[in-house]
Amino acid sequence: MRYEKGQKDQTRQRILDTASRRFRGEGVSAVGLAGLMRDAGLTNGAFYVHFESKEQLVQEVLVDALDRRLDALVAAKAHGATLEDAIRDYLTPARRDAPDESCPTAALVAEIAHHPDATRALFTERIAVFIDFIAANLPAGDAGARRGDAAALFGMMVGTLQLARAVSDAALSDQILAGGVVAGIALVRALALQQGD
Amino acid sequence: MRYEKGQKDQTRQRILDTASRRFRGEGVSAVGLAGLMRDAGLTNGAFYVHFESKEQLVQEVLVDALDRRLDALVAAKAHGATLEDAIRDYLTPARRDAPDESCPTAALVAEIAHHPDATRALFTERIAVFIDFIAANLPAGDAGARRGDAAALFGMMVGTLQLARAVSDAALSDQILAGGVVAGIALVRALALQQGD
DNA sequence: TGTACATCAGTGAACGCGCGTTCACTGATGTAC
DNA sequence: TGTACATCAGTGAACGCGCGTTCACTGATGTAC
């Protein structure tokens, strides 16, 4: 069968979206291509019509997910959201319980460290933009220090969300999330004050 | 062959140590039992003389590694190390570059979230002790708030180390580590001050 | 307008491979007599 | 003290399975004449 114009792009996007959710929800290595294609309503063989390898899919998913995330942050800022709002929004039970729709970094950063250089380089590029965006929203400090501070703040959000997800005690998990919000906001304010030292 | 007394325990410990390093260095799912046993100087079949399943090995490795880690922290404190020293020691290029000998939480927390309840429960138990130890070393605050603060501080250390490991640009990675130290110390001090608010 | 052909997204079986796990077996040593 | 036997840590081949990847094939549609 030969398909309508744009159908191929649509199918490709469907595979990407399915992979993006499943990779974040279960981890890259836990998701097999045959099952993934079944979820996308296709058979295994069709995968290679759209991607060269699983690794290429991982790369496209990463870039796509990180770009969407950044767009969402920029949009939120345009609507008046502050960095503190972003922290409060990030460390939420809803986000903790829906990793497949949430931050790709929190879900995949540990696994990415073991992926080929090409994949890590793409991740690095996008994460640098992310960190710089956060840095630009920090209240004070010189450019170099701000970048480090922003990375640490982002690392705190990522690490705290991961801890909250791994822990099987619901009360402790909630406490971790709440602590992350308090500490995150305290950190932003502390870094602001540091300028005055 | 029948072996000398204590040989079995010794072999078991060798498997545990090998697994502990390889799990942290490569991730649990990337390590196969046959290769692991080869590294321990044995053949695949001997694995089940010592462990019921790979999952049981994961659990023992986790408990063992976390206990060792806590012992090290307690010992460091006994020698006069402060919480700020611990942060400085944790976010180090040497630690970033030797995940197989470093923090099991940073290496495995994301993967643990996808493991069976029994494994997550063991992790939870130990991590709670960890968090409480950090909380006991925070300068101020009531018990509940301290626990959340400690979790966030720990999350920051874990997340920042993971970011530094995933990123393929050496300069950015160093910057992330340095930022983590600055922010970690600022956070500890900010939480101390908060008491005075 | 009607027919023959080229295109190519998608099918589904098959490839070699490594996975976790099982099991019949080995053979050096400790124990019983 | 010497011999027969029980023990059991470790061997290594085999199990079924799912992995990523390949490939000959299908068949609906667009294009050429």
Give me the residue from B148, B157, B163 closest to A151, CB to CB.
Answer: B163
* Chain A CB contacts of B159 below 8 Å: 109, 154-160, 162
CB spacing of A110 vs B112 below 8 angstroms:
no
* Chain B CB contacts of A29 below 8 Å: 27, 29-30
User: Which range, of A90-99, A145-154, B137-146, B148-157, averages the lowest pLDDT?
Assistant: B137-146
Cα–Cα distance, B72 to B94 (Å, whole number): 17
A159, with CB counted inside 10 A (0-12, 13-18, 19+), is buried
- Amino acid in the structure at residue B185: I
Residue B130 makes CB contacts below 8 A (sequence gap 6+) with B66, B69, B70, B105, B154
CB spacing of B156 vs A160 below 8 angstroms:
yes
* Chain B CB contacts of A169 below 8 Å: 124, 128
List, as ranges, residues 36-65 from B with C-beta within 8 Å of A: none
Going from the C-alpha of B43 to that of each of A180, B9, B40, the distances in angstroms are: 46, 17, 9
Q: Evaluate if the CB of B49 falls below 7 Å from strand D.
A: yes
| Residues A107 and A24: beta-carbon distance below 8 Å | yes
Q: Residue A53: pLDDT above 80?
A: yes
Q: Residue B24: pLDDT above 80?
A: yes
Backbone angles phi, psi at A115, to 5 degrees: -90, 165
**Tokens read off for B2:** 């029948």
Q: Which of A164, A129, A169, A131 is nearest to A148 (CA)?
A: A131
Residue A16 makes CB contacts below 8 A (sequence gap 6+) with A57, A60, A61, A64
**Mean pLDDT, residues A41-70 taken together:** 97
Cα–Cα distance, A75 to A81 (Å, whole number): 9
Q: Which of B13, B17, B118 is nearest to B59 (CA)?
A: B118
pTM, two decimals, is 0.95
What mean pLDDT, rounded, does chain A reach? Answer: 94
Q: What is the pLDDT of residue B197?
A: 44
List, as ranges, residues 99-128 from B with C-beta within 8 Å of A: 99, 105-114, 117, 120-121, 123-124, 127-128
Q: Residue B2: pLDDT above 60?
A: no
| Residues B150 and A98: beta-carbon distance below 8 Å | no
The model's confidence at residue A143, banded by pLDDT at 50, 70 and 90, is confident
**Mean pLDDT, residues A3-7 taken together:** 71
Q: What is the pLDDT of residue B7?
A: 83
B65, with CB counted inside 10 A (0-12, 13-18, 19+), is buried
Going from the C-alpha of B141 to that of each of B33, B120, B171, the distances in angstroms are: 46, 29, 36
| Residues B124 and A173: beta-carbon distance below 8 Å | no
Cα–Cα distance, A152 to B182 (Å, whole number): 9
Percent of chain B's residues with pLDDT above 70: 95
Cα–Cα distance, B122 to B66 (Å, whole number): 10
